[in-house]
């Protein structure tokens, strides 16, 4: 007899991420992350696998989080970051056994690193206070006499970080393996980041913006830097976000990812190629009308990261593409031919390519499969599952299989989505339906495992989730169509999806409809209950209710509001028109408001305004605050509070549906 998904199933699920091939291509590393119920945190450990035999070995243990594993060029050592407490340091481990050795003890830890191809040193970035050497101990703050924080810029805080350290910049340094000596490479009062290194070790790709005030600067130029002379060649200096550079095996070409500012943060991601011989740069995917990269939302994978692009020894390339609910691996040539390399209906959230380009390691999930590591033959399509960490959960748990749906909009778009039957579905019975709305808005629901959806289905609800205009994974015109029109066509897309579901699935009880979503999905929940009475219960999470105040209180508010609403404080009429708070008097749906107290992205005052307004009007409303939590509570938050959040959601729907 199998069980249904519960809130506590979060502790059973194991996240398998970050596959990294060894130079010999006969072994690999990956990370397994679990929620630790006893310590109420996350443990991420390093695992090793022999590809031929499939033999697995756990390499790290303890109450810690491992990230960014990387083999030395000769494969004899492995470097990785270890986070214990607030700081993370760089560690080394012999690939043939032994204890991990701490390589750095920097006051502010290590942000990132890259192996030097010589294998005798490692490049890294660390945060340094102006006027101090990179290895100096910074003065300790006396908590008895806290200092005032003098704000002189608009970019002075960030979600998950809080108030940003002042007069501190990320600098590049190099550490010698033999002596553990750390030597500064940059020291100018600007933040630097490592984006790539050539195979001959002579050239770095460095990102640095040499302006004193970046409040209205949305670019980080990339430079090719000669390691010895520090001479620079500009790689790109356009507005937008660019980085994660990879040199071809012959060092002639440099591939990197990025998106310009044509449609602000709604712009598709692309792959760029720079030819070091001709000095020409091209946008390889310019004619490709879906975004390069993984834009899928979910709540199961932890700290999953993948290369933006990987080269083969024949100078072909591989990268991820978000397309119509899938995240697939794609293959491209320098001539611009682009083809899908992995199957449909799944989420490839990590990958490593063999040098010949015919084979890949991939971490893959789908709506009824939390994710594991696979060995994939790209030429034949055959794959071998290498790990089975979630096998017991799958064998003992009844899941609901989402059904893909497609429907037209009034103005010519096509919307994709999914509908799930209750996990205990019996033909002929009627069931309530809950509509979920994703955040962003420039993300997408995908063919990936989503614990929250499965939990709702296990509770006896149908679940509808769609990708309305504004979602990534579709055309540039589709993702841009939401800007300046929040609550317009996007709201109609969602309601059209509901109408489609009601017309095509007779098991839905139209009198018991629920609605929930977070961030942009929270905005849409607030908007919907102010514009329709069709929903009998709603839960809004980390939401926006008032664009006028959001403009000033969010860490991104002053520019995000302009980018997304196409209006600023000189046009408060438009901001107020698109603010759900304006329509509070229309709300008849019982509304539960969930919000994190340390959310700097959508600050809790957005929830406070909505709650007090509705409460004062005599509406059916409740408010739950989550301490020590930021905007990412539902995905990476404190485990006990993630469980409590799910309890609040399901409890509200049980009460009213």
State the virtual CA torsion across 481, 486, 492, 498 in degrees, nearest 10.
110
Helix (H) / strand (E) element for 147: namely none
% of the chain beyond a pLDDT of 90: 95
Q: What average pLDDT does the segment 266-283 reach?
A: 97
Over the Cα atoms of the chain, what is R_g? 25
Q: Closest by alpha carbon to 222, among 242, 202, 246?
A: 242
138 confidence band (pLDDT: 50, 70, 90): low
Backbone angles phi, psi at 459, to 5 degrees: -80, 0
Q: Please report, for residues 390, 422, 444, the alpha-carbon distance to residue 455 in angstroms, rounded to integers and kept in the order given.
A: 17, 10, 20
pLDDT for residue 140: 54
Burial of residue 280, with CB atoms counted within 10 A of its CB: 0-12 exposed, 13-18 middle, 19 or more buried: exposed
The residue ranking higher by pLDDT, 144 or 20, is 20
2 confidence band (pLDDT: 50, 70, 90): confident
Whether 137 shows a pLDDT value over 80: the answer reads: no
Q: Please report, for residues 296, 323, 435, 437, 560, the alpha-carbon distance to residue 441 in angstroms, rounded to integers and kept in the order given.
A: 11, 16, 16, 9, 12
**Interval 495-532: pLDDT, tens:** 999 999 999 999 999 999 999 999 999 999 999 999 99
Q: Closest by alpha carbon to 36, among 44, 28, 24?
A: 44
**Interval 417-437: pLDDT, tens:** 999 999 999 999 999 999 999
1 confidence band (pLDDT: 50, 70, 90): low
In angstroms, the CA 348 to CA 342 distance is 8
Whether 130 shows a pLDDT value over 90: the answer reads: no
Where b means 16+ CB within 10 Å and e means fewer, 281-290 reads: eeebbeebeb
**Interval 342-351: pLDDT, tens:** 999 999 999 9
Q: What is the DSSP string of 531-596?
A: T-S--SEEEEES----HHHHHHHSTTHHHHHHHHHS--GGGHHHHHHT-GGGGGGG--S-EEEEEE
In angstroms, the CA 443 to CA 516 distance is 16
Residues that are catalytic: 519, 631
CB within 8 A of 149, min separation 6: which ones? 163, 166
Token pair in block for residue 112: 């990132």
Question: Would you say the C-alpha torsion 57, 59, 62, 66 has a positive or negative sign?
Answer: negative
pLDDT for residue 141: 54
Whether 219 shows a pLDDT value over 80: the answer reads: yes
Helix (H) / strand (E) element for 56: namely strand 56-58
CB 405 within 8 A of CB 500: yes
Q: What average pLDDT does the segment 104-132 reach?
A: 94
Burial of residue 210, with CB atoms counted within 10 A of its CB: 0-12 exposed, 13-18 middle, 19 or more buried: exposed
Residue with tokens 């794609």: 330
Question: Would you say the C-alpha torsion 377, 380, 386, 392 has a positive or negative sign?
Answer: positive
Whether 104 shows a pLDDT value over 90: the answer reads: yes
**Interval 302-345: pLDDT, tens:** 999 999 999 999 999 999 999 999 999 999 999 999 999 999 99
CB 462 within 8 A of CB 495: no
129 confidence band (pLDDT: 50, 70, 90): confident
CB 95 within 8 A of CB 131: no
pLDDT for residue 596: 98
Q: What average pLDDT does the segment 220-238 reach?
A: 97
Whether 86 shows a pLDDT value over 90: the answer reads: no
396 confidence band (pLDDT: 50, 70, 90): very high
Q: What is the mean pLDDT of the chain?
A: 96
**Interval 549-602: pLDDT, tens:** 999 999 999 999 999 999 999 999 999 999 999 999 999 999 999 999 999 999
Q: What average pLDDT does the segment 629-647 reach?
A: 98
The single-letter DSSP state of residue 397 is: E
**Cα-based angle 542, 545, 550 (whole degrees, multiple of 5):** 85
The single-letter DSSP state of residue 296 is: B
In angstroms, the CA 345 to CA 362 distance is 15
Q: What average pLDDT does the segment 185-193 reach?
A: 95
């Amino acid at each position: 007899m199998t069980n249904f998904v519960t809130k506590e199933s979060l502790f059973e699920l194991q996240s398998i991420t970050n596959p990294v091939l060894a130079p010999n291509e006969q072994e690999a590393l990956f990370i397994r992350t679990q929620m630790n119920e006893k310590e109420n945190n996350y443990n991420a450990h390093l695992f090793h696998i022999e590809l031929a035999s499939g033999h697995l070995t756990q390499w790290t243990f303890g109450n810690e989080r491992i990230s960014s594993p990387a083999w030395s060029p000769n494969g004899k050592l492995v470097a990785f970051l270890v986070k214990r407490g607030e700081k993370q340091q760089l560690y080394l481990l012999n690939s043939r056994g032994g204890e991990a050795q701490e390589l750095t003890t920097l006051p502010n830890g290590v942000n990132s690193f890259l192996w030097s191809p010589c294998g005798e040193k490692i490049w890294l970035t660390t945060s340094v206070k102006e006027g101090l050497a990179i290895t100096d101990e910074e003065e300790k703050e006396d908590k008895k006499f806290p200092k005032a924080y003098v704000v002189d810029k608009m970019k002075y805080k960030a979600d998950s970080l809080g108030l940003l350290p002042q007069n501190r910049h990320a600098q590049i340094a190099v550490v010698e393996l033999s002596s553990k000596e750390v030597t500064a490479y940059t020291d100018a009062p600007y933040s630097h980041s490592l984006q790539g290194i050539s195979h001959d070790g002579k050239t770095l790709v460095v990102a640095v913006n040499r302006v004193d005030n970046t409040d209205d600067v949305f670019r980080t130029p990339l430079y090719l830097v000669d390691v010895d002379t520090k001479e620079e060649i500009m790689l790109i200096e356009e507005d937008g976000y660019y980085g994660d550079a990879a040199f071809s095996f012959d060092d002639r070409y440099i591939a990197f990812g990025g998106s310009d500012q044509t449609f602000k943060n709604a712009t598709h991601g692309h792959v760029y190629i720079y030819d070091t011989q001709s000095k020409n740069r091209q946008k390889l995917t310019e004619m490709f009308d879906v975004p390069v990269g993984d834009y899928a939302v979910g709540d199961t994978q932890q700290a999953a990261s993948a290369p933006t692009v990987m080269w083969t020894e024949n100078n072909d390339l591989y990268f991820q593409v978000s397309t119509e609910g899938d995240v697939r691996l794609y293959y491209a040539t320098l001539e611009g031919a682009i083809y899908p390399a992995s199957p449909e209906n799944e989420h490839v959230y990590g990958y490593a390519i063999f040098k010949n380009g015919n084979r890949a390691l991939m971490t893959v999930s789908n709506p009824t499969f939390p994710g594991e590591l696979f060995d994939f033959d790209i030429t034949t399509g055959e794959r071998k599952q290498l790990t089975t960490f979630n096998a017991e959960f799958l064998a003992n748990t009844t899941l609901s299989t989402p059904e893909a749906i497609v429907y037209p909009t009034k103005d010519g778009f096509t919307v994709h989505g999914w509908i799930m039957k209750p996990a205990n579905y019996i033909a002929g019975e009627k069931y309530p339906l809950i509509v979920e709305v994703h955040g962003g808005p420039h993300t997408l629901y995908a063919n990936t495992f989503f614990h929250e959806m499965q939990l709702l289905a296990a509770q006896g609800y149908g679940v509808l989730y769609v990708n309305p205009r504004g979602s990534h994974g579709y055309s540039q015109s589709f993702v841009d169509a939401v800007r300046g029109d929040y609550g317009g066509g996007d709201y109609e897309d969602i309601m059209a999806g509901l109408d489609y579901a009601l017309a095509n699935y007779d098991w839905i009880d139209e009198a018991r409809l629920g609605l929930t979503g977070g961030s942009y999905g929270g905005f849409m929940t607030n908007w919907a209950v102010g514009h329709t009475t069709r929903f009998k219960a709603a839960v809004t999470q980390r939401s926006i209710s008032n664009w006028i105040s959001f403009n000033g209180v969010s860490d991104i508010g002053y520019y995000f509001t302009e980018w997304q609403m196409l209006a600023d404080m000189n046009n408060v009429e438009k901001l107020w028109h698109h603010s759900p708070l304006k329509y509070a008097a229309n709300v008849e749906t019982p509304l539960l408001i969930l919000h994190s107290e340390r959310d700097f992205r959508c600050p809790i005052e957005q929830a406070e305004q909505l709650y007090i307004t509705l409460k004062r009007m005599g509406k059916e409303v409740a408010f739950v605050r989550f301490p020590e939590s930021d905007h990412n509570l539902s995905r990476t938050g404190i485990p006990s509070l993630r469980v409590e959040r799910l309890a609040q959601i399901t409890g509200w729907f049980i009460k009213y549906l």
